[in-house]
Amino acid sequence: MRLAIVDDESVYRSQVAELISSVYGKADVSCFLYADGSELIRSFENGFKLDAIFLDIEMKDIDGMTAAKKIREYSKDIPIIFLTSHTELAMDGYEVDAFRFLSKPVNKLKLSETLTDLEKRLKVDEKIVLKKDGEEIVNPVSDLIYVEAANNCVRFCFRSGAVELRMKFTDAVNMVEELSSDFIKIHRSYYINLGHVRKLSATEVILDNNETLPVARSASAEAKKSLLEYIRRNGR
């Protein structure tokens, strides 16, 4: 992950970076340190890509809330984690869709929980790219409800509608499997997203788009186990 840490106090910048590295491992995360909000904004203006931002609210130059509002002009989705010693300011963060609030000094356990949730969020935001008629169709993997084998084609059912491609079902399953571990095969013709399951029985599954799909007898026990594990892992 590529993380920005923005704080006008160098001690706090370094402390948060060291904590992140100790929790996550230096090989798996890169921390980019900024002394104020204007430095961060300039990096966005120059097209620098980040996965998330740890942003101090109280800074002398451009405060964190102002910087966050400016960042939202460049990215509506990037997770922003506010750092603050004044928790009463946290309510203002909802204006910029803050991902989390961490009190200063940062608690290692709370930081670890935030990084775990952040990883889930970033994984959810993975994109699946389908090529059809010379064009690329891009959707978040989280919006893919299920994949269906349909004769010699494969049907990808998204929230926004279905895309049908001429390809092997096994190839489609492998492609989705590389992007997310939240899918399971419930039938020789169906590969579903556990995040869209509304109700599961031994013979069928009802999805949140109100479609009902069959569950093969041989897949029933594993489907139930996978759904329970998904709920435990994601807290729903």
* pLDDT at res. 87: 58
Percent of the chain's residues with pLDDT above 70: 92
| Cα(67)–Cα(72) distance, integer angstroms | 9
Cα–Cα distance for residue pair 224/211, rounded to 1 Å: 18
What angle (nearest 5°) sits at the alpha carbon of residue 222, between those of residues 115 and 212? 95
Q: What is the chain's mean pLDDT, rounded?
A: 89
Residue 25: pLDDT over 80: no
157, with CB counted inside 10 A (0-12, 13-18, 19+), is buried
- CATH number for the 127-234 domain, one of 2.40.50.1020, 3.20.20.70, 2.60.40.420, 3.90.950.10? 2.40.50.1020
Task: Place 233 in a pLDDT band, splitting at 50, 70 and 90.
Answer: low
CATH of region 2-124: 3.40.50.2300
Does residue 59 carry a pLDDT above 60? yes
Structure tokens at 1: 């992950």
Residue 6 has pLDDT above 90, yes or no: yes
> What per-residue confidence (pLDDT) applies to 26?
63
Adjacent-strand bridge partners of 150: 153
Tell me the domain boundaries of the chain.
Answer: 2-124, 127-234
More confident residue, 190 or 150: 190
- In the chain the first and final C-alpha atoms are separated, in Å, by 25
Q: pTM of the entire structure?
A: 0.57
Return the percentage of the chain with pLDDT > 90, whole number: 60
For residue 41, how many other CB atoms are within 10 A of its CB?
19
How would you classify the pairing of strands 144-150 and 135-140?
Answer: unpaired
